[in-house]
Amino acid sequence: MNKVVEKAFKSLSTTCNKSALHSYDEDSIKMMLKTIHKNDIEIDVDTLQSWLIENSWQEKPIKNVIKWAETISNGGRVQIKNKSIAQTEKQIWEKINS
């Protein structure tokens, strides 16, 4: 897996509920995926799915993450529910590239 993608999901693994995603978790994941895509980093969904399984994410959250990754990678849009508290793409990019 790309090192930036792995760093991003390691970070998410420490902050998100890997058993049942809350709306803030969903927004964090979606913004991370959007930021990665916007910076021309390819997300291999098969590799990501394997990584999530190996790192104790549960089935339903994995399905959601993979669906969002595929949507974003194919140029689709995902809805951010809590825009006022979500980190910006710039903040996320700085965090995963530090």
Percent of the chain with pLDDT over 90: 85
3-state secondary structure of 91: helix
Q: What is the mean pLDDT of the chain?
A: 94
Cα–Cα distance, 60 to 2 (Å, whole number): 24
Average pLDDT over residues 66-75: 97
73-74-79 Cα angle (round to 5): 75
Per-residue pLDDT averaged across 17-26, rounded? 95
pLDDT of residue 76: 96
Mean pLDDT to the nearest integer, 14-32: 95
pTM: 0.92
Give the gyration radius of the chain's Cα atoms.
Answer: 12
Q: Which token pair is 68?
A: 């969002």
Residue 9 in 3-state DSSP? Answer: helix
**Distance separating the N- and C-terminal Cα atoms of the chain:** 18
**The residue type at 37:** H
User: Is pLDDT of 56 > 90?
Assistant: yes
pLDDT at 87: 86
